[in-house]
């Protein structure tokens, strides 16, 4: 690698890190004592700052890295994984649970980021309308619609859980279909036809299936 390539690589990494830190500061500042809707508004405002940044237009890897960091503090992947596993979750050891959380987080990220990509408009930002929220104890649902490149609006419901004083997303319903419930049905089928180890193998090598 030449000096020029090294400098460009380090510059890209620094830019992604700076953007990620800025996003995290915005999210952490808005998350405490915010309502579920306010939490999501802060998340998408931060994401749109990055999506609309011309510095990222030719650097998709750095862009995805910054958004990945946002999702890491926005989603409760452990709760999502527990629900997606159903009764099988309790049969797994703590080590197996931790491994599954990581694998499922990667899967859920890919699915959700694909949905976000379809919703990015011409300027590269997400157009979100907030329709309302309902809160029961430490659980909440926020109803939204997201614009798409085709001009159609996509109904999205965010199911959230309160952790201390912040709200985190554990499921997203797209057009009335829960991502977590859909994966739970798929995982149950794979485990019945194969085994839990077979499911893990598929998650580790998604392109090989």
3-state secondary structure 45-76: HHHHHHHCCHHHCCCHHHHHHHHHHHHHHHEC
Segment 5-21 shows an average pLDDT of 36
Give the length of the chain: 209
Alpha-carbon distance 173 to 61, whole Å?
Answer: 27
Whole-model pTM? 0.77
Instruction: CATH number of the domain at 107, please.
Output: 3.10.450.710
Q: What's the domain count of the chain?
A: 1
Q: Which domain holds residue 168?
A: 3-208
Segment among 9-13, 83-87, 104-108 with least mean pLDDT: 9-13
Q: What is the pLDDT of residue 29?
A: 44
pLDDT reading at 181 higher than 90? yes
More confident residue, 10 or 184: 184
pLDDT reading at 16 higher than 50? no
Segment 105-117 shows an average pLDDT of 77
- Extract the tokens encoding 70: 């946002």
Alpha-carbon distance 63 to 35, whole Å?
Answer: 27
């Amino acid at each position: 690698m030449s000096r020029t390539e090294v400098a460009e690589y380090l510059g890209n990494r620094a830019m992604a890190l700076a953007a990620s830190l800025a996003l995290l500061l915005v999210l952490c500042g808005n998350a405490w004592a915010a309502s579920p809707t306010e939490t999501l508004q802060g998340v998408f405002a931060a994401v749109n700052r990055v999506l609309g940044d011309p510095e990222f237009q030719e650097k998709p890897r750095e862009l995805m890295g910054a958004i990945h960091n946002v999702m890491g503090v926005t989603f409760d992947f452990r709760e999502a994984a527990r629900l997606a596993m159903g009764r099988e979750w309790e049969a797994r050891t703590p080590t197996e649970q931790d491994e599954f959380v990581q694998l499922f987080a990667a899967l859920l990220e890919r699915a959700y980021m694909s949905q976000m990509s379809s919703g990015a408009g011409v300027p590269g930002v997400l157009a979100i309308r907030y329709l309302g929220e309902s809160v029961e104890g430490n659980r909440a649902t926020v109803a939204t619609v997201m614009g798409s490149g085709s001009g159609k609006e996509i109904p999205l419901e965010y199911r959230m859980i309160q952790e201390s004083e912040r709200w985190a997303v554990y499921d997203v319903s797209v057009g009335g279909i829960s991502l977590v419930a859909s994966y739970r049905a798929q995982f149950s089928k794979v485990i019945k036809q194969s085994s839990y180890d077979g499911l893990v193998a598929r998650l580790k090598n998604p392109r090989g299936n």
